[in-house]
Structure 1
Amino acid sequence: MFHRTYHATHPEMMEGASNAALRDRYLIDALFRRGECVLNYTHADRLVIGGVLVGDAEVRLPDQTQPASAAGQPFLQRRELGIINVGAGSGTVVVDGEAFTLDRLDCLYVAMGCADVRFAGADARFYLVSAPAHQRFATRKLSIADANALSRGSMAEANERTIHQLIIPGVCDSAQLVMGVTVLQPGNVWNTMPAHVHDRRSEIYFYFDLDQPEDSRVIHFMGRGDGMRQIVIANEQAVISPPWSIHMGVATRAYSFVWAMAGENQDYADMDAIDIGQLA
């Protein structure tokens, strides 16, 4: 069922780790395989990160196969799911018989307990993040126009961007999943400056729109503020950020990324900023 399982890590596990070890512990790649639903499990707040690239036939969100005690149960038996279409064209997600059309950057929140989720649309690329849920909320489509849009940064600082809050209190109710899309304006390359951590939740960054040119890359900084490390990330790769780790990046060109969080609170502003002078 899961392509890979990523275990929780301690800050000391980052000290002295090789670049290969960092990539193995935190980088999620190969999310899109035609005709498949690729799912990865991380013990960081038990998030599941996945991707669906539809081929000649619709693709179904699989039932659970592990652990053995859960085999045969719907994937969303005790989970909620956020879906964002990061492809060039529209696609369709059918949830328990109800169809939702998602254009580029549209989002679908799928409630805990839904039994049958299917994907269609040859030009769509569905990015998925799922978190455990304790309460059922309504399944709901959110177009990118429905998002709470925050303009941040400036051209002078090379970080002019729009943060589109999609699954977040005040826009779409959820048990614990918080999710949105940040789009950098042309000519801007930095995100999330100053750096910060939030001990009450884990976060996943999924970088995309880096395919032109193909050799574009993001340098993603992580670790403790006084002991930063970095991972070089290509288009449509994701990186796990534990609660104790900073998460910020700079790239060779403008790009977009999906951020998703889960933990014990949903307050977007609950973070501890780290002054740039503290970074080392």
Structure 2
Amino acid sequence: MTSSDWVVPAGEGAEDGFDLAVVAGEREGWSHTSLWTVTLAAGESRTVAAPGQELLVVPLSGGTEATVDGETYTLTGRSDVFAGPTDVVYAPLDAAVTLTSADGGRFAVCGATTDVVLPARHLPAAEVPVELRGAGQSSRQVRNFGTVGVLDAGSIIACEVITPGGNWSSYPAHKHDEESEHESALEEIYYFEVQDGPQGQPGLGFHRTSSTPAGEIDVLHEVRDRDTVLVPHGWHGPCTAAPGHDMYYLNVMAGPGAERAWLISDHPDQTWVRSTWEHQEIDPRLTEGD
């Protein structure tokens, strides 16, 4: 497959009323993770049904009511992805989710294949752990609403990352494409939003994925607002945000392993950079409370 098979530019993944539909099992070499994004007008509803998958609702802008197995959860949401963490709703295996937004908004529904059945859950924004990772120009903020130890799930692992303009994230480049004592085999979705300039100038950044023994892959993509990059395997990172344009990405991961774990290996040429962080300050544009 070519590098373009793993890049879904904004607008090119639209399907059945969704702005983006990446579905596990519906493309060659992609088996475990899904992502739908949808824009709802005021009062509009949309249902995501994905047999064999568990789902996680993540408001991108605006609030919604999410109905799962006859029970409705109210998600306050947020004004946009740069405004801070959001509350989320987990829907168990084979449970369809219906989103209804009184005032309209945009929403993501993450999915992952599993055979584990767990109850539905609403996680308030106030309970989402916020982590500041890296330092200096490698500073970024990670919101861990769907990670191991925060959200009980069968296989899905999800979080979102804010990278201030001019900074690097997913750095050092890392991989998780084989099962071992030190690594998990996980597909990964990167869904990007990039902040405009002060007069609405479109922002940009870059994403890199390169080959490992698990397979050949060569992606170097200029990411724009609402682009999506799929990582079936390979070293992935860095992601860089152009100066003046903060970058957001939503990560969705899952794989075939029996254990739900995020175990990674750093790229050997880049792992040394971690040792420099102890001598640098965290970027002051980031706080744990954002």
Same fold (TM over 0.5): yes
Q: Say whether residues 1:53 and 2:31 are aligned partners.
A: no
Q: Per the alignment, do residues 202 and 125 of structure 1 end up closer, same or farther by CA in structure 2, a change over 3 Å counting?
A: same
Q: Per the alignment, do residues 93 and 168 of structure 1 end up closer, same or farther by CA in structure 2, a change over 3 Å counting?
A: same
Q: Say whether residues 1:164 and 2:143 are aligned partners.
A: yes
Q: Per the alignment, do residues 57 and 267 of structure 1 end up closer, same or farther by CA in structure 2, a change over 3 Å counting?
A: same
Distance of 2:149 and 2:44 partners within structure 1: 33
Distance of 2:218 and 2:15 partners within structure 1: 36
Residue 241 of structure 1: which of 202, 227, 231 is its match? 231
Cα displacement (A) at 1:239: 0.6
Cα displacement (A) at 1:44: 2.2
Deviates more, 1:43-52 or 1:171-180: 43-52
Cα displacement (A) at 1:24: 4.0
Task: Look up the SS of the partner of 2:188 in the other structure.
Answer: strand
What residue in structure 2 maps to residue 260 of structure 1?
252
Q: Say whether residues 1:275 and 2:275 are aligned partners.
A: no
Contact conserved, 2:56 with 2:110, CA < 8 A, in 1? yes
Contact conserved, 1:183 with 1:256, CA < 8 A, in 2? yes
Contact conserved, 2:87 with 2:123, CA < 8 A, in 1? yes
Q: How does 1:12-27 map to 2 (within 5 A)?
A: 13=1, 22-27=3-8
Tell me the number of residue pairs that the alignment of Structure 1 and Structure 2 aligns: 242
Cα displacement (A) at 1:203: 0.5
Distance of 1:108 and 1:24 partners within structure 2: 30
Alignment-mate amino acid for residue 137 of structure 1: L
Cα displacement (A) at 1:188: 4.6
Distance of 1:124 and 1:40 partners within structure 2: 20
Task: Look up the SS of the partner of 1:236 in the other structure.
Answer: coil
Which structure exhibits the higher relative contact order, with contacts defined as CA atoms closer than 8 Å and separated by 6 or more residues?
A: 2
Alignment-mate amino acid for residue 250 of structure 1: T
Cα displacement (A) at 1:86: 1.1
What residue in structure 2 maps to residue 175 of structure 1?
154
**RMSD (Å) for aligned C-alpha atoms:** 2.8
Distance of 1:32 and 1:227 partners within structure 2: 21
Contact conserved, 2:189 with 2:230, CA < 8 A, in 1? yes
What residue in structure 2 maps to residue 250 of structure 1?
240
Q: Say whether residues 1:96 and 2:69 are aligned partners.
A: yes
Distance of 1:34 and 1:188 partners within structure 2: 34
Identity within the alignment, %: 20
Contact conserved, 1:144 with 1:164, CA < 8 A, in 2? no
Distance of 1:82 and 1:235 partners within structure 2: 22
4+ long deviations beyond 3 Å: 31-35, 211-214, 225-229, 275-278
Deviates more, 1:232-241 or 1:138-147: 138-147
Task: Look up the SS of the partner of 1:36 in the other structure.
Answer: coil
Unaligned regions of 5+ residues in structure 2, if any?
79-85, 178-184, 272-290
Deviates more, 1:160-169 or 1:40-49: 40-49
Contact conserved, 1:197 with 1:273, CA < 8 A, in 2? yes
Task: Look up the SS of the partner of 1:23 in the other structure.
Answer: helix
Alignment-mate amino acid for residue 259 of structure 1: N
TM-score (structure 2 length as normaliser): 0.73
Q: How does 1:154-233 map to 2 (within 5 A)?
A: 154=135, 156=136, 158-184=137-163, 186-199=164-177, 200-212=185-197, 213-224=200-211, 229-233=219-223
TM-score (structure 1 length as normaliser): 0.76
Cα deviation 1:209-245 (Å, max 9, x = unaligned):
4244442112111122798540111111211011224
Q: Per the alignment, do residues 231 and 174 of structure 1 end up closer, same or farther by CA in structure 2, a change over 3 Å counting?
A: same
Q: Per the alignment, do residues 176 and 60 of structure 1 end up closer, same or farther by CA in structure 2, a change over 3 Å counting?
A: same
Alignment-mate amino acid for residue 82 of structure 1: L
